[in-house]
């Protein structure tokens, strides 16, 4: 049995999934723009609904792709004399996968989880800028908040303001991307683990795979510099 046609279809499905991921990236950045410009909460919430729709499409495509791959693997392993009904077998496996769906699946989608995490950080970074309290105590509190934020702008490795901050998903600390990756690469060549450079952090195994761009922090730094 030739599976060239099936392989071509799989390739197309994976391209569709790439488009979904691009859509999720765009939606994420639009939501960040809305928070940064203090737009209506409903507008931001609508972006979250779109992200959930994308996550559902991503899950469905993943299940369909997995169903096809498992069916092909099964046929290659069993080598039946007669050509089986591929469509029926794929549908059967796909239905079984879809029957296990739950809302938590969508919450765990990598891009949706990143969206939620960074949106929370964006609100932290920019919420104090939208509060124009006239009380002296409020002004002092705001000054403290700004000072603390500026302290978080400094990379614990370079001791300079970060330009491309990345956050460690394990311990939550941020570093300049190039600086931490250079350390990871050097230690890898020495076959040694990397301890988090943040003073007081006990995390002793920083991996490149645990780093994610901290878009919220980058925007806060850029916003502060503009001011």
CATH code for the domain of 190: 3.30.40.10
Q: Which of 80, 105, 128 is the last residue of a domain?
A: 128
Do 124 and 173 fall within a single domain?
no
Do 124 and 174 fall within a single domain?
no
Domain that holds residue 176: 165-225
- Asked if the structure places residue 154 within a domain, the reply is no
- Asked if the structure places residue 14 within a domain, the reply is yes
- Asked if the structure places residue 220 within a domain, the reply is yes
What is the number of structural domains in the chain? 2
- Asked if the structure places residue 93 within a domain, the reply is yes
Do 172 and 74 fall within a single domain?
no
Q: Helix or strand or coil: residue 164?
A: coil
Please tell me the predicted confidence (pLDDT) of residue 78: 84
45: how many CB neighbours lie within 10 A of its CB? 12
Do 123 and 31 fall within a single domain?
yes
Please tell me the predicted confidence (pLDDT) of residue 147: 46
Do 191 and 114 fall within a single domain?
no
- Asked if the structure places residue 155 within a domain, the reply is no
Do 12 and 89 fall within a single domain?
yes
Do 110 and 173 fall within a single domain?
no
Do 124 and 171 fall within a single domain?
no
119 closest CA partner among 183, 50, 45 = 45
Let me know the angle formed at the C-alpha of 70 by 65 and 71, rounded to the nearest 5 degrees. 100
Do 171 and 123 fall within a single domain?
no
- Asked if the structure places residue 202 within a domain, the reply is yes
Let me know the angle formed at the C-alpha of 24 by 50 and 172, rounded to the nearest 5 degrees. 110
Do 113 and 219 fall within a single domain?
no
Please tell me the predicted confidence (pLDDT) of residue 77: 86
Do 12 and 122 fall within a single domain?
yes
CB of 74 closer than 8 Å to CB of 93: no
Give one word for 78, left, alpha or beta, with left for phi > 0 and alpha for psi -120 to 50. alpha
- Asked if the structure places residue 139 within a domain, the reply is no
Tokens of 33: 């723009």
**Going residue by residue through the chain (227 aa), what tens digit of pLDDT does each one get?**
667 888 888 899 999 999 999 999 999 999 999 998 887 788 999 999 999 999 999 999 999 999 999 998 888 888 877 878 888 999 999 999 999 999 899 999 999 999 999 998 888 877 655 554 444 334 444 444 444 455 689 999 999 999 999 999 999 999 999 999 999 999 999 999 999 999 999 999 999 999 999 999 999 899 888 87
- Asked if the structure places residue 21 within a domain, the reply is yes
């Amino acid at each position: 049995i030739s599976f060239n046609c099936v392989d071509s279809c799989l390739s197309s499905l994976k391209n569709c999934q790439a488009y979904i991921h691009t859509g999720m990236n765009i939606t994420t950045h639009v939501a960040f723009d809305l928070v940064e410009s203090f737009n209506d909460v409903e507008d931001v919430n609508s972006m979250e609904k779109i992200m959930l729709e994308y996550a559902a499409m991503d899950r469905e495509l993943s299940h369909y792709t997995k169903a096809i791959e498992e069916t092909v693997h099964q046929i290659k392993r069993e080598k039946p004399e007669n050509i089986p009904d591929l469509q029926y077998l794929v549908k059967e496996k796909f239905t079984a996968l879809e029957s296990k769906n739950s809302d938590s699946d969508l919450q765990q989608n990598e891009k949706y989880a990143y969206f939620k995490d960074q949106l929370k950080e964006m609100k932290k970074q920019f919420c104090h800028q939208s509060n124009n309290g006239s009380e002296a105590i409020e002004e002092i509190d705001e000054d403290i908040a700004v000072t603390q934020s500026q302290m978080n702008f400094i990379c614990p490795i370079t001791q300079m303001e970060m330009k491309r901050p990345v956050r460690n998903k394990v311990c939550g600390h941020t570093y300049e991307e190039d600086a931490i990756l250079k350390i990871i690469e050097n230690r890898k060549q020495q076959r040694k683990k990397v301890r988090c450079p943040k003073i007081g952090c006990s995390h002793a195994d920083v991996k490149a795979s645990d780093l994610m761009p901290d878009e919220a922090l980058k925007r806060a730094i850029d916003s502060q510099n503009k001011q």
